[in-house]
Amino acid sequence: MKRALIIAVALAAAGCDEMVRQPKAPVYGRSDLFPNGAAMQTPPPGAVSREDAAYQAALGQRPPMTLALLQRGRERYDIYCEPCHGLAGDGKGVVPSRGFPQPPDFHRPPLLGAPSRLIVDTITNGYGVMFSYADRVPPTDRWAIAAYVRALQLSQAAPAARLSSDDRARLEAAHGG
Protein backbone atom coordinates (compact mmCIF):
# COMPACT_ATOMS: atom_id res chain seq x y z
CA MET A 1 0.00 0.00 0.00
CA LYS A 2 2.78 2.39 0.98
CA ARG A 3 4.65 1.58 -2.22
CA ALA A 4 1.57 2.28 -4.37
CA LEU A 5 1.14 5.67 -2.70
CA ILE A 6 4.77 6.60 -3.34
CA ILE A 7 4.44 5.60 -7.02
CA ALA A 8 1.19 7.60 -7.39
CA VAL A 9 2.79 10.72 -5.88
CA ALA A 10 5.86 10.35 -8.11
CA LEU A 11 3.70 10.01 -11.25
CA ALA A 12 1.59 13.03 -10.27
CA ALA A 13 4.71 15.13 -9.68
CA ALA A 14 6.16 14.09 -13.02
CA GLY A 15 2.94 15.09 -14.79
CA CYS A 16 3.11 18.61 -13.34
CA ASP A 17 6.32 19.32 -15.25
CA GLU A 18 4.50 19.17 -18.60
CA MET A 19 3.04 22.65 -18.13
CA VAL A 20 6.54 24.10 -17.94
CA ARG A 21 7.44 22.58 -21.31
CA GLN A 22 4.28 23.41 -23.26
CA PRO A 23 4.64 25.50 -26.41
CA LYS A 24 3.98 29.20 -25.89
CA ALA A 25 3.70 31.96 -28.43
CA PRO A 26 5.16 35.41 -27.76
CA VAL A 27 2.40 37.94 -27.05
CA TYR A 28 2.87 39.75 -30.38
CA GLY A 29 3.99 36.60 -32.18
CA ARG A 30 2.25 34.29 -34.63
CA SER A 31 -0.05 31.41 -33.71
CA ASP A 32 -1.65 28.73 -35.85
CA LEU A 33 -4.40 28.36 -33.27
CA PHE A 34 -6.44 31.31 -34.57
CA PRO A 35 -7.57 32.01 -38.15
CA ASN A 36 -5.92 35.46 -38.23
CA GLY A 37 -2.55 33.95 -37.21
CA ALA A 38 -2.03 36.32 -34.25
CA ALA A 39 -1.25 35.00 -30.77
CA MET A 40 -2.88 37.95 -28.97
CA GLN A 41 -6.58 38.32 -29.73
CA THR A 42 -8.99 41.22 -29.34
CA PRO A 43 -11.40 40.64 -26.43
CA PRO A 44 -14.91 39.60 -27.53
CA PRO A 45 -17.66 42.23 -27.70
CA GLY A 46 -19.06 43.04 -24.27
CA ALA A 47 -15.95 41.95 -22.34
CA VAL A 48 -15.23 44.34 -19.47
CA SER A 49 -11.85 44.70 -17.86
CA ARG A 50 -11.78 44.69 -14.08
CA GLU A 51 -9.67 47.82 -14.35
CA ASP A 52 -12.40 49.56 -16.39
CA ALA A 53 -13.36 52.92 -14.84
CA ALA A 54 -17.12 52.28 -15.05
CA TYR A 55 -16.68 48.85 -13.46
CA GLN A 56 -14.64 50.32 -10.60
CA ALA A 57 -17.13 53.17 -10.14
CA ALA A 58 -20.03 50.68 -9.82
CA LEU A 59 -18.03 48.72 -7.27
CA GLY A 60 -17.17 51.81 -5.23
CA GLN A 61 -20.59 53.43 -5.16
CA ARG A 62 -23.43 52.06 -3.06
CA PRO A 63 -26.75 52.33 -4.94
CA PRO A 64 -29.79 53.86 -3.23
CA MET A 65 -31.97 51.42 -1.27
CA THR A 66 -35.06 50.51 -3.27
CA LEU A 67 -37.50 47.63 -3.42
CA ALA A 68 -36.06 46.70 -6.84
CA LEU A 69 -32.55 46.53 -5.33
CA LEU A 70 -33.76 44.22 -2.54
CA GLN A 71 -35.62 42.01 -5.01
CA ARG A 72 -32.53 41.75 -7.20
CA GLY A 73 -30.43 41.05 -4.10
CA ARG A 74 -32.75 38.25 -3.04
CA GLU A 75 -32.65 36.71 -6.51
CA ARG A 76 -28.83 36.85 -6.64
CA TYR A 77 -28.52 35.68 -3.00
CA ASP A 78 -30.70 32.65 -3.75
CA ILE A 79 -28.47 31.77 -6.70
CA TYR A 80 -24.98 32.40 -5.34
CA CYS A 81 -25.17 32.57 -1.53
CA GLU A 82 -28.05 30.40 -0.33
CA PRO A 83 -26.39 27.03 -1.07
CA CYS A 84 -23.79 27.75 1.65
CA HIS A 85 -25.29 30.53 3.80
CA GLY A 86 -28.86 29.14 3.90
CA LEU A 87 -32.18 30.86 3.22
CA ALA A 88 -32.12 32.71 6.55
CA GLY A 89 -28.41 33.61 6.36
CA ASP A 90 -27.63 31.37 9.34
CA GLY A 91 -24.85 29.43 7.58
CA LYS A 92 -26.91 26.24 7.44
CA GLY A 93 -27.15 25.73 3.69
CA VAL A 94 -27.05 22.49 1.74
CA VAL A 95 -23.30 22.67 1.01
CA PRO A 96 -22.15 22.71 4.67
CA SER A 97 -24.63 19.91 5.44
CA ARG A 98 -22.58 17.77 3.04
CA GLY A 99 -19.38 18.19 5.05
CA PHE A 100 -17.98 21.49 3.80
CA PRO A 101 -17.02 24.15 6.36
CA GLN A 102 -19.98 26.12 7.70
CA PRO A 103 -19.92 29.80 6.71
CA PRO A 104 -20.52 32.49 9.31
CA ASP A 105 -24.00 33.26 10.57
CA PHE A 106 -25.01 36.74 9.34
CA HIS A 107 -27.00 37.22 12.57
CA ARG A 108 -23.98 37.13 14.91
CA PRO A 109 -22.74 40.42 16.41
CA PRO A 110 -19.51 40.76 14.38
CA LEU A 111 -21.45 40.73 11.10
CA LEU A 112 -24.47 42.65 12.40
CA GLY A 113 -22.30 45.69 13.05
CA ALA A 114 -20.03 45.30 10.02
CA PRO A 115 -20.36 47.79 7.16
CA SER A 116 -22.11 46.63 3.97
CA ARG A 117 -18.82 47.29 2.19
CA LEU A 118 -17.39 44.25 4.00
CA ILE A 119 -20.01 42.02 2.36
CA VAL A 120 -19.25 43.53 -1.05
CA ASP A 121 -15.49 43.09 -0.52
CA THR A 122 -15.98 39.49 0.56
CA ILE A 123 -18.02 38.72 -2.56
CA THR A 124 -15.33 40.45 -4.63
CA ASN A 125 -12.20 38.93 -3.07
CA GLY A 126 -13.41 35.90 -1.14
CA TYR A 127 -12.49 35.20 2.48
CA GLY A 128 -11.34 32.05 4.26
CA VAL A 129 -12.60 29.06 2.29
CA MET A 130 -15.01 31.20 0.25
CA PHE A 131 -13.58 31.99 -3.15
CA SER A 132 -14.05 35.21 -5.08
CA TYR A 133 -17.29 35.69 -6.98
CA ALA A 134 -15.92 38.70 -8.91
CA ASP A 135 -16.11 36.83 -12.20
CA ARG A 136 -19.73 35.75 -11.60
CA VAL A 137 -21.42 38.62 -9.78
CA PRO A 138 -21.29 42.14 -11.28
CA PRO A 139 -20.54 45.04 -8.89
CA THR A 140 -24.14 46.32 -8.82
CA ASP A 141 -25.38 42.83 -7.90
CA ARG A 142 -22.82 42.62 -5.07
CA TRP A 143 -24.39 45.73 -3.56
CA ALA A 144 -27.86 44.24 -4.09
CA ILE A 145 -26.80 41.07 -2.25
CA ALA A 146 -25.36 43.17 0.59
CA ALA A 147 -28.68 45.04 0.85
CA TYR A 148 -30.57 41.76 0.98
CA VAL A 149 -28.26 40.40 3.69
CA ARG A 150 -29.07 43.53 5.71
CA ALA A 151 -32.79 42.81 5.19
CA LEU A 152 -32.24 39.22 6.38
CA GLN A 153 -30.48 40.53 9.48
CA LEU A 154 -33.34 42.92 10.25
CA SER A 155 -35.97 40.24 9.65
CA GLN A 156 -34.53 37.94 12.30
CA ALA A 157 -34.40 40.57 15.03
CA ALA A 158 -37.51 42.63 14.26
CA PRO A 159 -39.97 42.83 17.15
CA ALA A 160 -43.45 41.58 16.27
CA ALA A 161 -44.90 44.83 17.66
CA ARG A 162 -43.47 46.69 14.64
CA LEU A 163 -45.52 44.56 12.21
CA SER A 164 -48.86 45.66 10.82
CA SER A 165 -51.89 43.98 12.39
CA ASP A 166 -52.40 41.86 9.23
CA ASP A 167 -48.76 40.70 9.22
CA ARG A 168 -48.87 40.01 12.95
CA ALA A 169 -52.02 37.89 12.51
CA ARG A 170 -50.34 35.89 9.71
CA LEU A 171 -47.25 35.38 11.87
CA GLU A 172 -49.33 34.18 14.81
CA ALA A 173 -51.37 31.86 12.57
CA ALA A 174 -48.17 30.39 11.12
CA HIS A 175 -46.82 29.68 14.61
CA GLY A 176 -50.10 28.33 15.97
CA GLY A 177 -50.69 31.22 18.32
pLDDT tens per residue, range 24-62: 778 888 888 889 999 888 888 877 776 778 777 888 889
The CA-atom distances, in angstroms, between 90 and each of 81, 97, 102 are 11, 12, 9
> Domain count of the chain?
1
Quick one: pLDDT band at residue 104, thresholds 50, 70, 90? very high
135 phi, psi to nearest 5 deg: -85, -5
pTM of the model: 0.68
Q: Is residue 112 part of a domain?
A: yes
Give burial (CB, 10 Å; 0-12/13-18/19+) of 11: exposed
Q: Is residue 35 part of a domain?
A: no
Q: Is residue 16 part of a domain?
A: no
Q: Out of 30-39, 44-53, 138-147, 150-159, which region has the weakest mean confidence (pLDDT)?
A: 44-53
**CATH classification of the domain holding 90:** 1.10.760.10
Q: Is residue 84 part of a domain?
A: yes
**Residue 127: strand pairing partners:** 130
The CA-atom distances, in angstroms, between 13 and each of 3, 5, 17, 147, 165 are 15, 12, 7, 46, 67
1-25: pLDDT as tens digits: 777 667 666 666 655 566 667 777 7
Q: What is the pLDDT of residue 170?
A: 85
Q: Is residue 27 part of a domain?
A: no
Q: Is residue 137 part of a domain?
A: yes
Q: Is residue 53 part of a domain?
A: no
Quick one: pLDDT band at residue 157, thresholds 50, 70, 90? confident
Q: What is the pLDDT of residue 76?
A: 98
Q: Is residue 75 part of a domain?
A: yes
Pair 146, 116: CB distance under 8 Å = yes
